[in-house]
Amino acid sequence: MAVSTSIPPLGLGTFGRTGPEGIEAISTALEIGYRHLDTAQSYDTEATVGEAVRRAGLKREEVFITTKVADTRLAPADFMPSVRRSLDTIGVNQVDLLLIHWPVPEETVPFESYMSALKEAQDAGHARLIGVSNFTIALLERAEKLLGKGALATNQVEIHPWLQVPKLRDYARGAGLQLTAYQPLVKGQVASDPVLVGIAKELGSNPAAVALAFLMAEGHIVIPASASRTNLVSNWAATTITLTPEHMDAIRRLDRGYRHINPTKSPRWDD
Ligand SMILES: NC(=O)c1ccc[n+]([C@@H]2O[C@H](COP(=O)([O-])OP(=O)(O)OC[C@H]3O[C@@H](n4cnc5c(N)ncnc54)[C@H](OP(=O)(O)O)[C@@H]3O)[C@@H](O)[C@H]2O)c1
């Protein structure tokens, strides 16, 4: 099977999916058809992701696996050992996508140092694709200067109908960089949005799936999380929903700059 260079548009977020229950939920997702799993060193789900993929009996190249280097492991002495440890924990020779989880505040580790280490990890064969997470336009511009255009496969950031990040979205479109929408359901909160509820009723779908369909139609990759089979199934069905231009406009109007994840280490967001 040829190795795809693209990222499957709908993946499974694995935050919280630890232990036997985590393996169970990830296994259910793989059974439903999910082929893209998003983990991170800091989630403690690298092992459950690896175990679920092995139990599913899928070939390694059939599942797209992303992991992220924690912001506490970006110093030169820590970076590469942490990546090798991630590969061991997942039980693979290479991940499909390796991300910098958060930029380092105050640059206590120099930006050039950890971005170069990310590229070295790719050159060493530890990652097929590389990218970043929680990066602003200014940081993306610096990354492009350092590593060249097209070096990064994605920037994973918080995006959902209530936070549509128009400045970052327009920059990314111009730069040919795909955005991955994390926490695309705002922990399930968007499912109660009246506009999404109305569109879902009209389409015989459900509001969370409509939100995911909207984000994918905007060109984003989405990585919703769920431990429930019912929600995993309905989220997966988002790939089959076609929204009209009127639906798209109505959901675009829901943007209210509502940011749910904003720890003190956050960079100065663009929008
Ligand atoms: N890069 C970063 O800094 C970063 C930050 C945050 C998250 N992430 C990634 O993004 C993934 C997703 O984010 P998240 O897990 O925080 O939040 P999320 O996907 O927005 O929401 C997950 C929550 O929504 C509920 N839910 C799922 N499907 C639903 C549906 N169809 N209807 C109603 N409720 C539904 C789930 O409950 P049930 O389990 O009951 O279905 C769960 O409580 C994470 O797992 C992680 O991989 C990355």
Cα–Cα nearest to 133, from 52, 43, 201, 62: 43
Token pair, residue 174, equals: 């111009």
SS3 161: coil
Token pair, residue 218, equals: 């905007």
Counting residues of the chain whose pLDDT is more than 70, the rounded percentage is 98
Cα–Cα nearest to 133, from 225, 66, 88, 34: 66
Q: What is the DSSP letter of 67?
A: E
Specify which residues 100 forms β-bridges with.
69, 132
Give the model's confidence band at 271: pLDDT under 50 very low, under 70 low, under 90 confident, else very high: confident
- Predicted local distance difference test score (pLDDT) of residue 100: 98
Cα–Cα nearest to 193, from 250, 110, 114: 250
Give the model's confidence band at 209: pLDDT under 50 very low, under 70 low, under 90 confident, else very high: very high
- CA nearest ligand 1 atom 33, residue: 188
Cα–Cα nearest to 200, from 96, 15, 113, 191: 191
Token pair, residue 266, equals: 């956050």
pLDDT, tens digit (0-9, with 9 covering 90-100), for 140-163: 999 999 999 999 999 999 999 999
Q: Give start and end residues of each alpha helix (H) in 148-227.
A: 166-175, 194-203, 207-217
pLDDT, tens digit (0-9, with 9 covering 90-100), for 180-203: 999 999 999 999 999 999 999 999
- Domains of the chain plus CATH, in order, are 12-185+219-225 (3.20.20.100)
Cα–Cα nearest to 145, from 111, 110, 109, 178: 111
- Cβ(255)–Cβ(161) below 8 Å: yes
What is the model's pTM?
A: 0.97
State which of 28, 38, 135, 187 you would mutate to test the pocket of ligand 1, scoring each by most atoms of that ligand within 8 A of its C-beta.
187
Among 38-42, 63-67, 104-108, 242-246, which is the least confidently predicted range? Answer: 104-108
E strand or H helix at 180, and its extent? strand 178-182
Residues annotated catalytic, as ranges: 43
- Cβ(104)–Cβ(79) below 8 Å: no
**What lines the ligand 1 site, CB under 6 Å?**
13-15, 38, 101, 133-134, 156, 182-188, 191, 206, 208, 223-228, 231, 234-235, 261
CA of 83 to the centre of ligand 1 (A): 25
